[in-house]
């Protein structure tokens, strides 16, 4: 087994040992509310999103209900998440598109999801992975940071890192792995105050 294969196998085993069944960190009720929660999580913590969504989803469980809430009320509810003007308009507008084009359902293709307002590649990938169980590898800035720290990629951005990670890890691991890396980063491998002696992966691969 080559050096890179040994490294990736060690990382995969370690993450599976620590997080055999990582839960989805965002609270949601259906595919639509999950899409909205992931959209809200951009540049916002999952914990903060989870404090906002109960009120938003109380009356906004479907695209139709979300349109009935109205743009101003959506904005007021999600203000703590940051980027509220842009996010509230995206939620309001994508709800209309889902009603007009998809009979109120969340589309099941990456390309169609990426066409929705406020839904970038990472958000679409998370929805495909967690709601529709299609192998994707959502890479955010946290995963990019860890992949760089572990020398799994020399990519300069999340797009290049996603490409590299897909080459390294088996496809059947992708959907769970992106959650495992996020949880591991929070617990053992933070950006600041990182103690390598308490980080099993960095101890082995650095």
Closest listed residue to residue 47, CA positions, set 19, 80, 74: 80
Q: Give the model's pLDDT for residue 36.
A: 98
H helical segments located in 103-169: 110-114, 121-130, 141-149, 158-168
User: pLDDT-based confidence at 157, cuts 50/70/90?
Assistant: very high
User: Would you call 83 helix, strand, or coil by DSSP?
Assistant: coil
Q: Domain 31-130 falls in which CATH fold?
A: Endonuclease III; domain 1 (1.10.340)
Q: The domain at 3-22+136-205 falls in which architecture? A: Orthogonal Bundle (1.10)
> Dihedral, CA atoms, 172, 178, 183, 184, nearest 10 degrees?
80
H helical segments located in 133-194: 141-149, 158-168, 174-187
Q: Where are the domains of the chain?
A: 3-22+136-205, 31-130
Written as six digits, the tokens of 159 are: 């797009």
Q: Give the model's pLDDT for residue 84.
A: 95
pLDDT at 118 over 80: yes
Q: Cα–Cα distance between 184 and 181 in angstroms, integer? A: 5
pLDDT at 67 over 50: yes
Q: Do 38 and 127 contact (CB within 8 A), yes or no?
A: yes
- DSSP-derived letter for residue 38 is H
pLDDT at 2 over 90: no
């Amino acid at each position: 087994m080559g050096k890179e294969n040994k490294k990736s196998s060690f990382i995969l085993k370690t993450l599976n040992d620590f997080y055999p069944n990582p839960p989805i960190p965002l609270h949601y009720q259906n595919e639509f509310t999950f899409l909205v929660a992931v959209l809200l999580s951009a540049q916002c913590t999952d914990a903060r999103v989870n404090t906002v969504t109960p009120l938003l989803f109380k009356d906004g469980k479907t695209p139709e209900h979300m349109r009935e809430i109205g743009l101003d009320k959506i904005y007021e509810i999600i203000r703590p998440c940051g980027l509220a003007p842009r996010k509230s308009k995206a939620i309001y507008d994508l709800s209309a598109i889902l009603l007009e084009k998809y009979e109120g359902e969340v589309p099941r293709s990456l390309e169609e999801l990426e066409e929705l307002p406020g839904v970038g590649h990472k958000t679409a990938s998370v929805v495909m992975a967690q709601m529709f169980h299609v192998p994707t590898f959502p890479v955010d800035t946290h995963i990019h940071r860890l992949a760089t720290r572990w020398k799994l990629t020399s990519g300069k951005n999340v797009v290049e890192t996603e490409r590299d990670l897909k080459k390294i890890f088996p496809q059947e691991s992708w959907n769970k792995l992106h959650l495992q890396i996020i949880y591991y980063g929070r617990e053992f491998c933070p950006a600041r105050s990182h103690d390598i002696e308490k980080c099993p992966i960095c101890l082995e691969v650095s």
